[in-house]
Amino acid sequence: MHILETKGLNKTFSNGQGTQQPVLKEINLQIPQGEFTAVMGPSGSGKSTLLYTLSGMDTMTAGSVLFKGQEISALSETELAALRLHSMGFIFQQMHLLKNLNIRDNIILSAYRAKKTSRRAINARAADLMKRTGISALADRGITEVSGGQSQRVAICRALINQPDILFGDEPTGALNSKAAGEIMEILGEINRSGTTILLVTHDAKVAAGAERVLYMLDGRMASEHWLGKYHKEKGDLKQREEKLSSWLRTLEF
Ligand SMILES: Nc1ncnc2c1ncn2[C@@H]1O[C@H](COP(=O)(O)OP(=O)(O)OP(=O)(O)O)[C@@H](O)[C@H]1O
């Protein structure tokens, strides 16, 4: 079963002076449930636009995006907002965490809004997520009192609090040093192995090496793809995967 599927997806931006710029061109993509996919490609190739269009945060110009078989362009704004709240999680480079709330409250806020389960169950899930991401001791701290890597862990917990089917990330490790980025990738890998589908955009081969499949976008098209297979930390072969990926990327002149 594909959790996400696009058919002839096109997206055009108008540049203000009446000219249209095609940014996504005839994208046919299938993301199986449970896959960990990374999207790479040169700057301006359309990666972020693809992510926003797939997640219903931006509209498409033509074609179709099916989420669990449902055409998202047929949904009303309210239905789309509910779908995003209940079924999708988002992690961005800019985390948009709320400065007037502590870490725990930043994580649970959207779960209180979603009202999927009791407050008690929500608090227990937040505690579990903080434990899994190693930030339990920081729960009562303000968002300005922690490091970039710790904030990104908060953002991951927040994205996962409503048990989404899919987690979208746009350069989720972009602001982090290489050690913190590696730790975040280990966390994402574990989340994926526990069943959450992940789709993330990254420039970094080290980050993409943790993905199962890497898609390469060029000038608005899906130009190529590379299968790495599931990454298991125990195998400890991340370096080899990164080398394999980098040599593939070199053939694409990336
Ligand atoms: N809101 C917008 N209005 C007009 N043009 C846009 C808009 N957003 C993006 N674009 C254009 O669409 C193209 C693709 O942008 P996008 O951000 O998707 O690329 P990207 O591959 O994610 O780039 P980067 O790696 O630099 O983040 C670029 O030419 C960009 O200028």
User: pLDDT of the chain along its 254 residues, tens only?
Assistant: 799 999 999 999 988 788 899 999 999 999 999 999 999 999 999 999 999 999 999 999 999 999 999 999 999 999 999 999 999 999 987 778 899 999 999 999 989 988 888 999 999 999 999 998 899 999 999 999 998 888 989 999 999 999 999 999 999 888 888 888 888 888 889 889 999 999 999 999 999 999 999 999 999 999 999 999 998 877 768 889 999 999 999 999 88
Contact predicate 126/104, CB 8 Å: yes
| CA proximity to 114, closest of 102, 103, 126 | 126
Determine the structural domain holding residue 55 and report its residue range.
Answer: 2-251
CATH number, domain at 197? 3.40.50.300
Domains of the chain: total = 1
Cα–Cα distances (Å) from 146 to 78, 128, 180, in that order, read 35, 19, 13
Compute the distance from residue 90 Cα to the ligand 1 centre, in Å: 18
- What tokens does 242 get? 């990164």
At residue 116, the 3 state secondary structure works out as coil
Find where tokens 């058919």 sit. Answer: 7
Contact predicate 192/29, CB 8 Å: no
Which of 12, 20, 48, 54 to mutate to test ligand 1, by most ligand atoms within 8 A of the CB atom? 48
- What tokens does 28 get? 């046919």
Indicate if ligand 1 lies below 6 Å from the C-beta of 44.
yes
Closest-CA residue, ligand 1 atom 5, reads 13
| CA proximity to 244, closest of 205, 218, 216, 217 | 205
| CA proximity to 65, closest of 158, 168, 160, 170 | 168
Indicate if ligand 1 lies below 6 Å from the C-beta of 93.
no
State whether the Cα torsion 17-94-249-28 is positive or negative. negative
Dihedrals φ, ψ of 173, to 5°? -115, 10
Give the per-residue pLDDT at 173: 86
At residue 190, the 3 state secondary structure works out as helix
CA dihedral 135, 139, 145, 151 (to 10 degrees): 50
Buried b (16+ CB within 10 A) or exposed e, 69-101: eeebeeeeeeebeebbbebbbbbbeebebeeee
Amino acid letter, 230: K
At residue 118, the 3 state secondary structure works out as coil
